[in-house]
C-alpha cells in the first residue's frame, strides 16, 4: 500500500480539496499508472453532491473521475498486455466478476457485480474505490485500455465516458452510410455523437434549442441543424430518421422526436433526466418505432472505440484546467459554460 495525492470532497456541500489517499501495491495482474489527464464528467458532479442518493448513495470522502489517461509505471509479475512507459486509459469500470452472462458476452457494464472506478466497494483495501482526480491509480490489467499514440491525451480522456457512451449505441443500431441520424443536444455527449455519426458516414442532423449553436454543430460534422422550438422545422423531418441519439438530461418532450423516426426507427437515451419522461404509445405503435437506453460499453468495445478514434483523429473538444480550478469548473459545467468537456492536467496536482 502507498499514499497518493488526490482531490476529494468530504460532504455533499463541501468543495473538492487536496488530500492523500491509500492505493494498493500492484498484485501480479495489476497495472499501476501515473495519471496524466482526467476528464470531468457530469456524473462526477452528481456523485460529489450525492444527487443520485436513491440509487447510488455517495460514500465520503469521495475522489471522483472515470475518464483517465496515463502512463504505465509498474506492472505485476503476470501482466502480459502492458509494460512501463505505455500510454493507457481507464474508464468507468475497474472490475467485474468475469463469469456472468454479461461478462461472457463482453458487456461488463451490465455485470451485477461490477466495480466502478469511484464510489464502489473496494475489494482490496476496504471502503470504496477512488477515482482519477489523483496522481496515480492501480487497476487490473483486464480493465486497462491502450491509447493510440496519435491522439491528443487531454482530448482523449473524455473518450472513456462521453466517447464510449455515444459510440456504443450507434454501433448497436448500425449507424453508417445511407442512414439519417439525429443528435439531440450539443454538449459533452452531443458533440461526441456528432463526431462519431459523421465519421460513420451518416447524414447528421443536430437538434438544439439554441440557434447560436448552429455554426459549431456544422464545424463538428453536422449536415443540418434544427432549432427544436421551431415547429415548422421539426415538421419537415417527420418520419425520416433511422436513429436519434438523445443526450439531454433536462425534462423534454420525447414524442416530438419519436414522431421524427421512420418505420422501425430507434431513439436511444443516453442523457439521464431526474424525472421520468412520458411517451405516447401511438407514436411507437404506428411506426413500429422504439425507445431504448444505453450506458457505456464493454471493455472490448471501448478499446474498439479508442482504435477508431486513433484511425480517424477523433478526440473531445476540451478546455484543459489545473486541478486547483476544479470547483470553478463544476460551477461552469452546471451553466453549460464549456466547449465541450473539461480535462484536468494532473501535472498540476504533483505541484501541490
Alpha-carbon distance of 21 to 33, in angstroms, equals: 15
> pLDDT tens digits for 55-94?
889 999 999 999 999 999 999 999 999 999 999 999 999 9
CATH number of 2-161+297-350: 3.90.180.10
Mean pLDDT across 136-165: 98
Mean pLDDT across 316-337: 96
> pLDDT tens digits for 193-218?
999 999 999 999 999 998 999 999 99
Alpha-carbon distance of 225 to 90, in angstroms, equals: 34
Predicted local distance difference test score (pLDDT) of residue 273: 80
Predicted local distance difference test score (pLDDT) of residue 257: 96
> pLDDT tens digits for 10-59?
999 999 999 999 999 999 999 999 999 999 999 999 999 999 888 889 99
The segment(s) of the chain belonging to CATH 3.40.50.720 are 163-293
The segment(s) of the chain belonging to CATH 3.90.180.10 are 2-161+297-350
- For 279, half-sphere exposure in the C-beta direction (CA atoms, 13 angstrom radius) is 17
Residue 131's pLDDT band, with cuts at 50, 70 and 90, is: very high
E strand map for the chain: 2-8, 17-23, 30-40, 68-75, 87-90, 93-95, 115-116, 136-140, 145-146, 180-184, 203-208, 224-227, 241-246, 261-269, 290-293, 318-322, 341-345
> Which three three-digit cell numbers place residue 223?
449536415
298: left (phi over 0), alpha (psi -120 to 50) or beta: beta
What's the fold here for domain 163-293? Rossmann fold (3.40.50)
Q: What are the angstrom distances between the C-alpha of 263 and each of 211, 227, 288, 292? A: 29, 23, 6, 15
Amino acid at each position: 500500500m502507498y499514499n497518493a495525492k488526490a482531490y476529494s470532497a468530504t460532504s455533499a456541500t463541501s468543495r473538492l480539496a487536496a488530500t492523500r489517499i491509500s492505493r494498493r501495491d500492484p498484485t501480479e495482474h495489476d497495472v499501476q499508472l501515473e495519471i496524466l489527464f482526467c476528464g470531468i464528467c457530469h456524473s462526477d458532479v452528481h456523485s460529489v453532491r450525492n444527487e443520485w442518493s436513491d440509487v447510488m448513495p455517495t460514500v465520503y470522502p469521495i475522489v471522483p473521475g472515470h475518464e483517465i489517461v496515463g502512463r504505465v509505471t509498474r506492472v505485476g509479475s503476470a501482466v502480459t498486455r502492458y509494460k512501463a512507459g505505455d500510454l493507457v486509459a481507464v474508464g468507468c469500470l475497474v472490475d467485474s466478476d468475469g463469469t456472468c452472462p454479461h461478462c461472457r458476452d463482453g458487456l461488463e457494464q451490465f455485470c451485477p457485480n461490477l466495480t466502478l472506478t469511484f464510489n464502489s466497494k473496494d475489494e482490496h483495501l476496504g471502503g470504496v474505490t477512488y477515482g482519477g482526480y489523483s496522481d496515480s491509480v492501480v487497476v487490473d490489467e483486464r480493465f486497462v485500455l491502450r491509447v493510440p499514440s496519435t491522439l491528443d491525451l487531454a482530448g482523449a480522456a473524455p473518450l472513456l465516458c462521453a466517447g464510449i457512451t455515444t459510440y456504443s449505441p450507434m454501433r448497436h443500431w448500425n449507424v453508417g452510410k445511407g442512414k439519417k441520424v439525429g443528435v439531440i443536444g450539443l454538449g459533452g455527449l452531443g458533440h461526441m455523437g456528432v463526431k462519431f455519426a459523421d465519421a460513420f458516414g451518416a447524414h447528421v442532423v443536430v437538434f438544439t434549442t439554441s440557434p447560436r449553436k448552429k455554426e459549431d454543430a456544422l464545424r463538428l460534422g453536422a449536415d443540418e441543424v434544427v432549432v427544436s422550438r421551431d415547429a415548422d422545422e421539426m415538421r419537415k423531418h417527420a418520419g425520416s430518421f433511422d436513429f436519434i441519439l438523445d443526450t439531454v438530461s433536462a425534462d423534454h418532450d420525447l414524442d416530438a422526436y419519436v414522431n421524427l423516426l421512420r418505420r422501425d426507427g430507434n431513439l436511444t437515451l443516453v442523457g439521464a433526466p431526474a424525472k421520468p419522461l412520458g411517451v405516447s404509445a401511438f407514436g411507437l405503435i404506428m411506426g413500429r418505432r422504439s425507445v431504448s437506453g444505453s450506458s457505456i460499453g464493454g471493455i472490448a468495445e471501448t478499446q474498439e472505440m479508442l482504435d477508431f478514434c486513433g484511425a480517424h483523429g477523433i478526440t473531445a473538444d476540451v478546455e484543459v484546467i489545473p486541478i486547483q480550478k476544479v470547483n470553478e469548473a463544476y460551477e461552469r459545467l452546471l451553466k453549460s459554460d464549456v466547449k465541450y468537456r473539461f480535462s484536468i492536467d494532473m501535472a498540476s496536482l504533483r505541484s501541490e
